[in-house]
Amino acid sequence: MRTVQSVATMAHDADNSLSAIVGLVEDTAMQVQSIATASEEQSAASSEINRTVEEVNRISGETAAAMREAASSVEALASQAETLRGLIDRLQREPAPASQAIQ
């Protein structure tokens, strides 16, 4: 009878141990699933960051090109202003024709 009781006790202990192991395995599986989900979210966020950085680079390039064009336009405008200033100076130095003199 002692042997049967001993075997029953060992079976009960084994059942308790297996239940504990199954609980730990389930907990581990849930943690692995959480890690996988977090990893997918991180990957999606990284992809979004990469797209945003590419967009910023594109906009930066467009801005640089526009600034070069603006600088060229400003230089051309400055040259035209200098030419106009020269024409005004020349006209101011030349005497007005007699027919246009104010009486």
What SS3 string covers the chain?
CHHHHHHHHHHHHHHHHHHHHHHHHHHHHHHHHHHHHHHHHHHHHHHHHHHHHHHHHHHHHHHHHHHHHHHHHHHHHHHHHHHHHHHHHHHHHCCCCHHHCCC
C-alpha radius of gyration, the chain, whole number: 44
Stated pTM of the model = 0.55
| Mean pLDDT of the residues in the chain | 92
Mean pLDDT of 13-42: 96
Q: Would you place residue 38 in the very low, low, confident or very high pLDDT band (cuts 50, 70, 90)?
A: very high
Q: Is the pLDDT of residue 82 over 60?
A: yes
Kindly state the average pLDDT of the residues 52-80: 97
Q: How confident is the model at residue 103 (pLDDT cuts 50, 70, 90)?
A: low
